[in-house]
Chain A
Amino acid sequence: MDGQLNALWVWTQTGIGANIPPPVFSVLSGIAALALLLVALAATRNMQRRPGWLQNLAEITYEFFDNLAVSVVGEHGRKYVPLAGTIFLFILFSNLMGLIPPGIAPTASLNTTIALALIVIVYVQYEGIRARGLGGYLKHFARWGEVPVLLSPLLFVIEIVSELAKPVSLSIRLYANMFGKEQVTMALITALAMPLFKATFIPLPIQFPVLLLGVLVAGVQAFVFSILTLIYLALATEHHEEHHGEHAHAH
Chain B
Amino acid sequence: MEVGTGLYLMGLALAVGLGLPLAVIGAGLGQGRAVAGAMEGMARQPEMAGRIQTGMIIGLAFIESLVLFSFVIFFLLQGRLPTVSGQ
* Partner-B contacts on A (CB < 8 A): 68, 71, 169, 172-173, 176-177, 180, 183, 220-221, 223-224, 227-228, 231
Q: Verify if B51 is at the interface (C-beta below 8 Å from A).
A: yes
Q: What are 13 inter-chain pairs, A to B, with CB distance below 8 A? A: A68-B54, A169-B65, A173-B64, A173-B68, A176-B71, A180-B71, A183-B75, A220-B57, A220-B61, A221-B61, A224-B57, A224-B58, A231-B58
Residues B72 and A172 in contact, CB atoms below 8 Å apart: yes
Cβ contacts under 8 Å, A71 to chain B = 51
Contact across chains for B58 and A172 when beta carbons are under 8 A apart: no
The contact of B58 among A177, A180, A227, by CB within 8 Å, is A227
Contact at A172–B51, with CB atoms within 8 Å? no
Q: How many angstroms from the CA of A231 to the CA of B75 in the assembled complex?
A: 30
Residues of A within 8 A of B58 (CB): 224, 227-228, 231
Q: Chain B interface: which size bin?
A: 10 to 19
Which chain B residues in 24-62 approach chain A with CB under 8 Å? Answer: 51, 54, 57-58, 61
What is the bound-complex CA distance between A173 and B67, given in angstroms? 9
Contact indicator A172/B65 (Cβ below 8 Å): yes
Classify the interface of chain A: helix, strand, loop or mixed: helix
Verify A172–B68 contact, CB threshold 8 A: yes
List chain A residues, Cβ under 8 A from B68. 172-173, 176-177, 180
- B67-87 CB contact bits vs A (8 Å, 1 = yes)? 011011001000000000000
Nearest residue, chain B, Cβ from A217: B64
**B6 CB → nearest A CB, Å:** 27
**Set B51, B54, B57, B72: member contacting A176, Cβ < 8 A:** B72
Which chain A residues lie closer than 8 Å to B64 at the CB level?
173, 177
Inside 8 A of A173's CB, which chain B residues have their CB?
A: 61, 64-65, 68
Docked-complex contact A172 and B69, CB < 8 angstroms: yes
A227 to B71, CA, bound (A): 23
In the complex, what residue of chain A is closest to B65 when comparing beta carbons?
A173
Please, how many angstroms separate the alpha-carbon atoms of A114 and B20 in the complex? 24
Residues of A within 8 A of B54 (CB): 68, 227
- Alpha-carbon distance A134/B57, docked complex (angstroms): 34
Residues of chain B contacted by A223 (CB below 8 angstroms): 57
Q: Which residues of B contact A68 (CB under 8 A)?
A: 54
Closest 8 pairs between A and B when the two form their complex, measured CB to CB:
A176-B68, A173-B65, A224-B61, A176-B71, A176-B72, A180-B71, A169-B65, A173-B68
Docked pose: A112 CA to B28 CA in angstroms: 29
Residues from chain A with a CB closer than 8 A to the CB of B72 are: 172, 176
Min C-beta distance of A52 to chain B, whole Å: 27
CB distance from B35 to the nearest CB of A (A): 14
Given A172-B65, A224-B61, A228-B58, 8 other A-B residues pairs in contact with their CB atoms under 8 A = A169-B65, A172-B72, A173-B68, A176-B65, A177-B64, A180-B68, A180-B71, A227-B54
